[in-house]
Amino acid sequence: MKIVVIQGPNLNMLGVREQNIYGNMKLEQIHQNMKGFAEQNGLEIEFFQSNLEGEIVDRIQECLGEADGMIINPAALTHNSISIRDAISAVSLPTIEVHLTNIHAREEFRQKSLTAGVCAGVIAGFGPFGYHMAMIAIMQILNEVKALKEQQKAREEAIKAEANQE
């Protein structure tokens, strides 16, 4: 199973910008932790970060047929990007939205997520650990999807076998 992690604007500045809000862990360290978890659990993982909305939309669209699920932190674009919301909806992949801070406890303009409604879930306020939680969540969702597909396939094969006996 392949997971694509998409990081939005200014997340490349983690560990430098506003450490009192976002902490001192760099994005590379977060990705290393996620990579270790992925390897331990037999997942393929890929990382993408951009400060440009169009590049993020392009990367989400590229996930169609390439990835099994996505983890996304749209950062500031969370609150105003209909195009990112539409791209997530269009690819119809299980997606977990992550925020380092609790967006609901921040400035009013940060409290609304336009992208949350098309994601399987949102994890906010746990700092870098939120990405670990997202990995567990996406793995659970993908395992459930896989089990449902296997059950459906078994049912179809049983129906075929029954039809062949008649």
CA dihedral over 80, 88, 95, 14, signed as positive or negative:
negative
38, two tokens: 């992925």
Which tokens is 114 given? 């336009």
**22 part of the active site:** yes
Rounded distance between C-alpha atoms, residue 39 and residue 125, angstroms:
25
Catalytic residue among 22, 31, 104, 132: 22
Nearest Cα residue to 66 out of 93, 36, 90, 43: 93
Unique residue bearing structure tokens 């062949």:
164
Residue linked to tokens 């409290």: 111
Query: At 158, is the secondary structure helix, strand, or coil?
Result: helix
Known active-site residue 131: no
Residue found by looking up tokens 């997606």 in the block: 95
Question: Which position among 31, 79, 99, 131 bears the catalytic label?
Answer: 99
Q: Active-site residues: which are they?
A: 22, 99
